[in-house]
Structure 1
Amino acid sequence: MCALKIDLLFGGGAELLFDKIKKRQVELPPLNKYFSDAKKTEWTIREFIVWIKDNLLREREELFIQGDSVRPGILVLVNDSDWELCGELDYQLQNNDCIMFISTLHGG
């Protein structure tokens, strides 16, 4: 499998955890090159979240990650659709997908 190009967007304050960058295109390596113990070859959002944490997240991991997923209060859109309609963590990433993470958490 070739590297995947993914448009990645952050909003609602989530971008503050990622050097205040709201939009970027990332290129994911073949899955088995990133996760040497990977038994499958296709990227899912589950692995993508780990890749984001390892490569892009700059601070306060607990505000983005909870367990093996995003924390409650982070809305995830896959090509402008709620990820719940796409299979959530098991959604298989496709080349040129647009994945958006929007924080709905606000302090006061």
Structure 2
Amino acid sequence: MKINLEFRGGAELLVNNVSQHSVDLDGSKWTIASLLEWIKTNLIQERPELFLQGGSVRPGILVLVNDADWELLGQLDYELQEGDSILFISTLHGG
């Protein structure tokens, strides 16, 4: 299954400064929860605690699935579909 991942608002710093990723996932059933584990293992270069907390994204990271807030789609339980676009936007900024 092919999906697109995008990291913005500073989240791209956690994935080697590459904001867009086209990903081919093996198997047929993937949820956002399993995708987050895949991202932690395969994309995050260092300090995964800046992206993940307790099995989910940290507070302050907005997640959109096909331009819709993931909270409307079941968050971690949303089952990914072929061609989905998942966008992670960090709203946390230092000062």
Give runs of aligned pairs for residues 1-108 of structure 1, distance below 5 A.
Answer: 4-30=1-27, 42-108=29-95
Q: TM-score, normalization: structure 1?
A: 0.86
Query: Gapped runs of 5+ residues in structure 2?
Result: none
4+ residue runs over 2 A deviation: none
Matched letter for residue 93 of structure 1: L
- Deviation track 1:41-84 (CA, whole Å, cap 9, x = no partner) reads 61100000000000000011111000110000000000000000
Matched letter for residue 84 of structure 1: E
**Secondary structure of 2:88's match?**
strand
Deviation at 1:24, TM superposition (A): 1.3
* Rounded Cα–Cα distance in structure 1 between residues aligned with 2:21 and 2:34: 18
**Secondary structure of 2:89's match?**
strand
Query: Gapped runs of 5+ residues in structure 1?
Result: 31-40
Q: How many residues align?
A: 95
The structure with more radius of gyration: 1
Higher relative contact order (Cα pairs below 8 Å, separated by 6+ residues) = 2
* Rounded Cα–Cα distance in structure 2 between residues aligned with 1:60 and 1:53: 10
* Rounded Cα–Cα distance in structure 2 between residues aligned with 1:12 and 1:59: 17
